[in-house]
Amino acid sequence: MTDKTLNFLQFLKSGEYKKMRKHAESFGECPLTAEKHLESFKTALELCRPVLFAEYDDFGFNRDSDLTMMWGSGNVTPNYLRILNTGFDGVKEQIKQSISNTHNIGRKKYGRMMLSCIDLCLDYSDRFRDEIKDKNDRLYKALLKVPHGPAESFYEACVFIKLCIFFLRLIYTDHIGLGRFDQYMYGFFLADKRRGVSCEELFETLENFFISLNFDTDLYWGMQQGDNGQSMVLGGFDVDGNYLYNELSEMCMKASLELCIIDPKINLRVGKNTPEEVFESATLLTKQGLGFPQYCNDDVVIPGLIKLGYDKHDAYDYVVAACWEFIVPNCGADTPNYHLLDFPLVIGNMIKNELCESKSFDELMEKARLAVANECERLLELGKIVVRVENPLLSVFMDGCIESLLDTWSGGTKYRNLGSHGVGISSAADALAAIKKNVFDEKTISAQQLTDALEMNFEGCEEIRNLLLDSPKMGNNDAYVDSIASELMASFSKHFNNKPNIFGGIWRAGTGSAQNYVYASKTCPATADGRRSGQPYPSSFSPSLETKSAGLLSVIQSFTKYDLSDIINGGPLTIEIHDSVLRNDIGIKKTAQLVKKYIEFGGHQLQLNSVNREKLIDAQKHPENHKNLIVRVWGWSGYFNELDVEFQDHIIKRCEYII
Amino acid sequence: MVKGCIFSIEEFSVYDGPGIRSTVFLKGCPLSCEWCHNPEGQDAGIQIVKSPNGCVGCGACFENAVQENGKTVFMERSIKKCPMKLLRYCGKMTESTELCSKLLANREFLSDGGVTFSGGEPFFQSGFLFECLEQLKGKMHTAIQTSGFCESAVFARATELADHFLFDLKLFDEAQHIKYTGVSNRLILENFRFLAKSGKDLTVRIPLIPGVTDTYENIDGLCRLMSESGIYYAELMPYNKMAGGKYKLLGKTYSPSFDETLTPDIRADIFEKYCIKILVL
Ligand code: SF4
């Protein structure tokens, strides 16, 4: 790391920049129409001007105020490359062309709003350029070219992206991923190299770009800090089976490793043919404890997306939207986080109403499948009253919108699919397995006793609860319970996947939870896996918190039995390993082998965290000593000290059973 | 068929031999090293342990316990009645066939690695250990992590069955060995020399206990022994202050006589003198 980078990094970590901001009232509710978006964009720009924080900052476009705004649209990956190659002036010409090509007044109007948005961006960036003229020559020169014209160098391209993010965020766009940065930026990278730019210089630019993405990450509406969706996807196979992991991919990994900051969040696309060295350098990154990279398995995700109707070449281009949602960049305006199927609640209600009437476990299981099917139906019905906002600036970045002059979600883009989380799958499967064992197979608890105990939240029913806790649990490679989980997932995907939604797209079933492992669980009564009322669910697709599993090999086998390409909305298996495992090359190599095995077994997504429970407990007690402790929360990493205590507790609990 | 008593299986153990391994921990140990970090491995029988974290103080465990010689002994009902599920059995009787089929179920993961038997001292249940090794022979790579404390004939049989040995060398001086581990090291050294001569795969492991095993004399003695036996690689395990972490679980107190706060000395120069390569774990 160069001195310049180090200074910039220290400036970021000092938090000084936060004190330099003026205060601005938050923007509440997101307006629906394009007109209102444009209006509020103007106001936002007045309240929140772009600034350059320090002399070693080569990117600028940070906020001069603490303005936050409510979540509007996002969770998509814009086509940065098209904009980088065209420049805003060129884009304006394209829009004008489209306006003159259509007679539709509504579309013409929409096109003009797109133009107004771009004009605002140009205006503010020109003014900013002139302001910094004497402060940063490099940035000044870059801004003479971009955003008006196309980017030519790697640096200009980075500046352009940073500027786009700045503007998009001020028009109610959040959680916009960086997509396959190592692929679309590779051309600029190579061109620079051909021009004689050294790898060291390119690396410095890259590192400083990464650092610059970390300012303003606290300015998100109602989010835990870190949950901002700035995901970056590296690697991946092309249609011919080549693994695309280039020099820039490796540099991104190295920068993330060196900088140890929470943005961008690194996702790595891999498959069974990914070379072992890539897994090894990824494991080195895991060792840093940031929870990077998150692995996505091309061998499972791509066929899964094709089954959902995505074109082959689009499926091969998939990215992670913000946390772990698999989407298609550029032409996909999917909303994978639309709602959630709360498995423990749905199965819990079924048990409450039906257990005493059921004569066999098969009968109960039939009712469980039906309960999931009915819930799918309810969710699909609920999904018909979606309101969508119109965001003319975002549409500029989404393929198809400029040609059609339609909004991203009103038909402008190719894919407009919606998705649902599948929360607490293991907890629900464990509950059914515990009933199978105790009520039907061994008859140690009667149906009535169990329903009463659940009603009482296990108050005075310790023995019953302990029997339930001692029953087969997902994560032990035990077919007794794993097969139940498979049936629940099969029912979800069968009754949900590919059903039409009101945007002309389809619905997608998934295994994620987002924050709902804490929020949804709060109102869920006691469940038959032994979980007390209000206790959290496991995060995404993971063993329940009370489970002492047989170990990592068993967990991996339990969670790869089902054909996960059937339930591919996203949602990782989360595994914690103690940081002492990664203390030397031997541990790194073996951990890399383990990840590879997970991929070979058909896992779809893996979140591997290196943790140290003692350290976390100490950090909770003495936050002042652990200011830089970063942990993975759900689809993102954050500073441990800045998390709400219930998320801290959940993370500590997750680590309980590792040695 | 003899039944064995195991207290844990660790899947994905990375520092117990080549490749990805599962480590089986057998109960019972004839030594009582002061620094033992697996105290639940010392006692041969099944015990009831109680986690010290999360107790709400309801007293249910004590109500269901009995008093023996002035000591509280928890019973099965204590386990069942604890609302926080803090009590559990430590140790489980299992047949070798059952254990081996469980281990073989993970064969796909363990193809480059295998199984390591640890403890306690695995030779403490040598009958059970041999049954397992016989069943795994030819199917999976096996390793034994041992203190080397067992009868020579038993040890010789093991060298025929297992593929790899992780052999602990603690103290070279007999009196010191007796002082800190409770037993003489005569058998241990004899077995070590035998093993080295046999040409079996062998990894020496030295726990570095501050002021006890990390002294100049001791490391020099151990290095001499190794070099005389033609062994030029050792893994060092510096003392970790977490060693005492599990004593409370057993209702025991951990009170080592050495100074825990000192950082163990690696003594790289001595190893170098004897041309012994080291890896610090
Ligand atoms: S029963 Fe459990 S919670 Fe109650 S006093 Fe004993 S250990 Fe504590």
pLDDT confidence of residue A72: 82
Report H helices in A436-500.
447-455, 462-469, 479-496
Single-letter residue type at A89: D
Q: Which residue has its alpha carbon closest to ligand 1 atom 1?
A: B82
Burial (0-12, 13-18, 19+ Cβ within 10 Å), A594: buried
Tell which one of B72, B84, B248 to mutate to probe ligand 1, the residue whose CB is within 8 A of the most ligand atoms.
Answer: B84
CA angle centred on A308, ends A483 and A368, rounded to 5°: 30
Q: How far apart are CA A353 and CA A355, in angstroms?
A: 6
pLDDT confidence of residue A515: 72
For A194, half-sphere exposure in the C-beta direction (CA atoms, 13 angstrom radius) is 8
Residues of chain B contacting residue A554, judged by C-beta atoms under 8 Å apart? 11, 106
B63 pocket-lining for ligand 1 (C-beta < 6 Å): no
CA angle centred on A24, ends A19 and A25, rounded to 5°: 135
The mean pLDDT value of chain A amounts to 92
Pull the structure tokens for residue B55.
């107790």
Q: Which residue has its alpha carbon closest to ligand 1 atom 4?
A: B58
Peptide bond into B18 cis (omega under 30): no
Q: What is the largest CA-CA distance in chain B?
A: 61
Nearest to A40 by CA among A581, B264, A32: A32
pLDDT confidence of residue A288: 87
B48 pocket-lining for ligand 1 (C-beta < 6 Å): no
Q: Which residue has its alpha carbon closest to ligand 1 atom 8?
A: B55
For every residue of A394-408, DSSP letters joined together read HHHHSTTHHHHT--I
Distances B77 to A61, A461, A466, A546, B63 between C-alpha atoms, Å: 65, 13, 11, 20, 9
The mean pLDDT of A162-176, rounded to a whole number, is: 92
Entry pTM? 0.92
pLDDT tens digit string along A286-302? Answer: 998 888 999 999 999 99
pLDDT tens digit string along A86-127? Answer: 999 999 999 999 999 999 999 999 999 999 999 999 999 999
- Yes or no: say if A210 and A256 are a contact pair by the CB < 8 Å rule: yes
Query: Would the CB atoms of B83 and A614 count as touching at under 8 Å?
Result: no
Q: Which residues, including other chains, have CB under 8 Å from residue A140's CB and lie 6 or more apart?
A: A129, A132, A133
The mean pLDDT of A39-52, rounded to a whole number, is: 93
CA atoms A132, A136, A139, A141: torsion sign: positive
pLDDT band at A224 (very low <50, low <70, confident <90, very high): low
All CATH 3.20.70.20 domain ranges of chain A, comma separated, are: 335-653
Name the interface residues of A facing B (CB cutoff 8 Å).
Answer: 458, 462-463, 465-466, 469, 477, 546, 550-554, 556-557, 577, 581, 583-584, 586-587, 590-591, 593-594, 597, 601, 614, 659
pLDDT tens digit string along A603-645? Answer: 999 999 888 877 788 878 877 767 667 777 665 667 777 777 7
- Yes or no: say if A308 and A499 are a contact pair by the CB < 8 Å rule: no
pLDDT confidence of residue A659: 41
Nearest to A208 by CA among A10, A14, A352: A10
Query: Would the CB atoms of B242 and A554 count as touching at under 8 Å?
Result: no
pLDDT band at A512 (very low <50, low <70, confident <90, very high): confident
Q: How many CB atoms lie within 10 A of CB A197?
A: 16
B57 pocket-lining for ligand 1 (C-beta < 6 Å): yes
Give me ligand 1 centre to Cα B66, in Å. Answer: 15
Q: How far apart are CA A541 and CA A568, in angstroms?
A: 12
Q: How far apart are CA A568 and CA A566, in angstroms?
A: 6
Strands A507-509 and A418-423: parallel
Q: Which residues, including other chains, have CB under 8 Å from residue A385's CB and lie 6 or more apart?
A: none
Query: Would the CB atoms of A597 and B10 count as touching at under 8 Å?
Result: no
Closest CA in chain A for residue B13: A581
Query: Would the CB atoms of A590 and B79 count as touching at under 8 Å?
Result: no
pLDDT band at A391 (very low <50, low <70, confident <90, very high): very high
CATH of B3-44+92-245+254-280 among 3.40.50.10470, 2.40.50.180, 3.20.20.70, 3.40.50.300: 3.20.20.70
pLDDT tens digit string along A327-362? Answer: 999 999 988 888 899 999 999 999 999 999 999 999
**What counts of helices (H) and strands (E) characterise chain A?**
27, 16
Q: How far apart are CA A248 and CA B106, in angstroms?
A: 37
pLDDT tens digit string along A529-538? Answer: 999 999 888 8
pLDDT band at A575 (very low <50, low <70, confident <90, very high): confident
Element (H, E) at A97: helix A80-101
Strands B47-50 and B87-90: antiparallel
The phi and psi torsions of A610 (rounded to 5 degrees) equal -100, 120
Query: Would the CB atoms of A466 and B79 count as touching at under 8 Å?
Result: yes
Tell which one of B48, B53, B56, B249 to mutate to probe ligand 1, the residue whose CB is within 8 A of the most ligand atoms.
Answer: B56
Domain boundaries, chain B: 3-44+92-245+254-280, 49-88
Query: Would the CB atoms of B81 and A465 count as touching at under 8 Å?
Result: no
Distances B147 to A300, A512, B186, B224 between C-alpha atoms, Å: 46, 47, 12, 19
pLDDT confidence of residue A616: 82
Mutate to test the interface with A, among B55, B78, B109 (most CBs of A within 10 A): B109
CA angle centred on A78, ends A72 and A84, rounded to 5°: 135
Nearest to A339 by CA among A486, A516, A523, A77: A516
Element (H, E) at A575: strand A573-578
Q: Which CATH architecture has domain A335-653?
A: Alpha-Beta Barrel (3.20)
The mean pLDDT of A450-470, rounded to a whole number, is: 95
Nearest to A2 by CA among A214, A207, A212: A207
The closest CB to that of B83, out of A462, A477, A557, belongs to: A462
Q: Which residues of chain B have pLDDT under 70?
A: none
Q: How far apart are CA A257 and CA A255, in angstroms?
A: 5
For A222, half-sphere exposure in the C-beta direction (CA atoms, 13 angstrom radius) is 8
pLDDT confidence of residue A223: 59
